Amino acid sequence: MTNSTVSLGQKFDLRGFSVNFDIKDSLAAENLLDSLDRATPIFKQVFDTDIEPQACYYLVNDSSQIQSILGVAPKLNEISCFNPITNTICLLINKIDSNSCGELGVKELGHLYFNKAVNEREIRFKQWRTPSWLREGFALQASYRIRQDQINWLQSGWEKLQTAQKSGQLLKPNMLVKDLSTISDAQKRELGHYQSYYMVKLLLSIYCDKFFSKYSTLMKALEDMEAETCFRQITSFSYEKFFSMFEDWVKKVNAWTAME
């Protein structure tokens, strides 16, 4: 069965997005579509593109439906999956609060676009060619900024980073290589998400949103190139040197400047 033959009974369309859902999940579908609409201009800026993002979403209630739509079964405890070739994203809606559907859907759009543009591949379980702090940081740019509580959320995250910096507890790049979900400690996992978001935000502030177009071009053209080599070629920084710059930024800058 292909995704074109799967029907959940209801469908919304807006911009380049379609959302397929069961009628009982209407609120989640509305939240997702509104979030995607608000995220689109941020998404285009972050990924340095004039092209409208496109994706076909399925809000499913059973993991077996994901396999029917995408052709692969979700991994253990996964609540979202995507296929960058078909621009298809599945959200296991019975495991997601309807108010969180939009944020998760936008983040998965970021993952989908990143993977497709970079020709990303999983080199080990839960580890991609690009380290997770960089990949996740791009995916979080729009999803964090379309939250209804975005100001309090981002300010709280910055304060957590500053507290961690003072105690020498910021996570080093080598701790943020694998999928952040593999960090067992919940507080460190939350810190890892905030840190990834702000590390990429610093990167984008330096390179005026042009970083991704250069990174994706090199990574897609040179499949044997290591991600850090590509990063260094664009920025002249190793991961460790960039982390030192980030650490200094966290130490010296207030939340409002960091959030701009």
One DSSP character per residue, 178-228 reads S-GGG--SHHHHHHHHHHHHHHHHHHHHHHTT-HHHHHHHHHHH-TTS-HH
Residue type, 29: A
Average predicted confidence (pLDDT) for the chain:
94
Task: Return the structure tokens found at 234.
Answer: 């664009």
d(CA 57, CA 146): 18
CB contact set of 57 (below 8 Å; sequence gap of 6+): 17, 18, 19, 20, 32, 88, 89, 90, 91, 105
d(CA 37, CA 60): 21
Task: Return the structure tokens found at 106.
Answer: 């936008």
**CB–CB of 248/256 below 8 Å?**
no
Residue type, 253: V
pLDDT digits (tens, 9 = 90+) for 53-69: 999 999 999 988 999 99
pLDDT band at residue 186, thresholds of 50, 70 and 90?
very high
What pLDDT does residue 98 have?
84
pLDDT of 209 strictly over 80 = no
pLDDT band at residue 76, thresholds of 50, 70 and 90?
confident
Task: Return the structure tokens found at 223.
Answer: 């499949």
pLDDT digits (tens, 9 = 90+) for 14-24: 999 999 999 99
pLDDT of 74 strictly over 90 = no
Cα separations (Å) of 100 from 60, 115, 152? 15, 23, 16
pLDDT of 1 strictly over 80 = no
